[in-house]
Structure 1
Amino acid sequence: AERRIPGALRFDIDAVKDTDSDLPHMLPRPEAFAAAVGAMGIGDGMRIVVYDGLGLFAAPRVRWTFKTFGATDVVMLEGGFPKWQAENRPIEHGPPRSRAARSFTARLDHSAVADAGDIARALAEGTAQVVDARPGDRFRGEAPEPRAGVRSGHMPGSLNLPFPAIVENGQLKSPEAIAAAFAEAGVDLDRPLITSCGSGVSAAILSTALETIGKPARALYDGSWAEWGASDRPLATGPAKRG
């Protein structure tokens, strides 16, 4: 049975995406995003509060998507639905209520989105650090990727910070713990950063964490490993080579 915070709308990251792409979670075209969220009843100038069922997993990607398409007031509910339930707050059951459509103006901020060429240049020229949120065994090439046809390993020169290292009980850890985790992964927080992961979802957790400590990432690699690992671009295995 469907359960939600009363009045909440469902945003499906597997539906609101570029349906013409073979990659799992690429950003849709601005007009497609505007049509999808406008039909949900989300319009210009509204405050958007995002949460998910795990506490902190898909919500950062949804928040990043809204912000990348020009929404200015987008926040996440701390602790998500698990915390809401644990605090015995009201819950709505059954099908969601329909809402009147609104107009949402989508303007893509291209600078917030990295592609494979941007990543290759950043790593070759040392202009940005690429931080990968996937589990260590997949980054090192010791475990298979969950998607067919995708190699195991990482982009040569990228660093690895598995996202659970900065999450506790469905919430981001303290700013001090976040900064320490990035430092331990070999990241220089005073240099530009691009986040990456398996398909562009958990990279947004790293991006959100960086924002909370005042060191926002330059961009997120939308295709992430699902794109790079399925291509013939160079690949490294083993632990990250630092500095």
Structure 2
Amino acid sequence: MRMPPFPDYPEFHPMSDILISTLDLDERLKRVNPPRVLDASLPNSPIASFAPEDGRTLPGALEFDIERVFSDQSAPFPHTLPALDALQQACGQLGLSIDDEIVVFDNRGVFSAPRAYWLLTQAGFTNVRLLDGGLPGWLAQSLPVQQGYSEPTPLATPPVLKANPSVVSVDDVQANIANPRFTLVDARSAGRFSGQAPEPRPEFPGGHVPGACNLPFGDVLENGYFKSAEEIARLLRDRGLSPADHVAFSCGSGITACILWVAAELAGFEHLSLFDGSWTAWVMSGRYQG
């Protein structure tokens, strides 16, 4: 008799509407009212595969600038979630309405686009999907591209968004060590997590928050695409996690943690948080004890 794939976790309910394929998006872009396409690519980074910065992007793509627009420029940590009013203004300038069909992507397959997905969905946008395979997958299908970003049409009135309910702070993470309310999962490499490999910022030590477990973001991906929900669920189960658990994600500065966020959603996890400042905030707060 064939056994169910997750006999120990009967509550496993994978999500199927988060990702969109390149061919599906290509068809949708031919409609009278195509989806809004947001390019959330980041500059080349030592923790990601090299991507040619040649100006190619998807037809109609708007720039979703994580570094300079969709981050708090006054914060001491990179990529910090912007204040609600700033986020509303930024979305209004891109012409994004709360119920728009939106597709986010990046130029590495899957790297920074999950950060855009997290920002938008947690702010209240109701119809956001992520292009699995990103720009490399699009190019591999020889689909049309354009050179440079399209010009947005700003809204007369910014969308009314909600404060992000999923963020946990340094203090929350500190309190969780003595009184666990969630499991902290670190998306950095095993070497950075253990402290045996250097951090991209040489002035920062390696290591991890006490009690955290490690799931390198690359483990949930394959050739720039997410692995299946079943494979991701097994990886999380191997860390002792069930879809009923409250799980918080961390990384270096809040980008690759969002890859694990999307992966967990794909595997049917619903009680999710994000340590937005991540390892950078932990070290700069003085909590690190090497």
**Shorter-chain TM-score above 0.5:** yes
The SS at the match of 2:284 is coil
1:8 corresponds in structure 2 to 61
Is 1:132–2:178 an aligned residue pair?
Answer: no
Specify the alignment match of 2:45 in structure 1.
none
Residue type of the partner of 1:146? Answer: P
CA shift at 1:187, angstroms? 3.5
Distance 1:2 1:228, change over 3 A: same
Query: In structure 1, which of residues 157, 165, 168 is the aligned counterpart of residue 219 of structure 2?
Result: 165
TM-score normalised according to structure 2 size: 0.77
Q: Distance in 2 between matches of 1:233 and 1:100?
A: 44
Structure 2 unmatched runs, 5+: 1-53
Q: How far does the alpha carbon of each residue in 1:72-106 deviate from its partner, in whole angstroms, 9 at most, with x for none?
A: 1111012111111111111111x433232113222
Secondary structure of the residue that 2:274 maps to in structure 1?
strand
Query: Is the 1:156–1:235 contact (alpha carbons within 8 Å) kept by the matching residues of 2?
Result: no
Contact 1:58 1:201 in 2 (8 A): yes
Q: Which residue of 256, 269, 277 maps to 1:202? A: 256
1:153–1:235 contact (8 Å) kept in structure 2: no
1:69 to 114, 123, 135: 123
Percent pairwise identity? 38
**SS of structure 2 residue aligned to 1:218:** strand
Matched, 1:101 2:154: yes
- Which residue identity is paired with 1:116? V
Counterpart-to-counterpart distance in 1, 2:228 and 2:150: 37
1:28-39 matches, within 5 Å, as 28-39=82-93
Structure 2 counterpart of 1:22: 76
Q: 1:124 to 1:187 in 2, by over 3 A?
A: same
CA distance in 1, matches of 2:175, 2:127: 32
Q: Would you say the 8 A contact 2:192–2:207 is kept in 1? A: yes
Aligned length: 234
Counterpart contact for 2:247–2:273, Cα < 8 Å:
yes
Whether 1:218 aligns to 2:272 is yes
Partners of 2:181 and 2:266 lie apart in 1 by 23
Deviates more, 1:55-64 or 1:44-53: 44-53
One-letter code of the match for 2:83? Answer: R
- RMSD, aligned α-carbons: 1.6
Match of 2:113 in 1: 59
In 2, Cα distance between the equivalents of 1:217 and 1:59? 21
One-letter identity of the residue aligned with 1:108: A
Q: CA deviation at 1:215?
A: 0.9
Provide the residue aligned with 1:85 in structure 2. 139
> How far has the Cα of 1:39 moved from its partner?
1.1
How far did 1:182 drift? 1.8
Q: Which moved more, 1:125-134 or 1:31-40?
A: 31-40
Calculate the TM-score normalised by the size of structure 1. Answer: 0.91
> Relative to structure 1, is the Cα distance of residues 13 and 63 closer, same or farther in structure 2, using a 3 angstrom cutoff?
same
Shift of 1:146: 1.5
CA distance in 2, matches of 1:10, 1:152: 33
Q: Which amino acid aligns with 1:192?
A: H
Give the match for residue 45 of structure 1.
99
Shift of 1:149: 3.7
**Once the 2 structures are TM-superposed, how far is the Cα of residue 12 of structure 1 from its aligned partner?**
1.3
Separation of aligned partners in 1, 2:248 and 2:271: 6
Residue 23 of structure 2: aligned partner: none
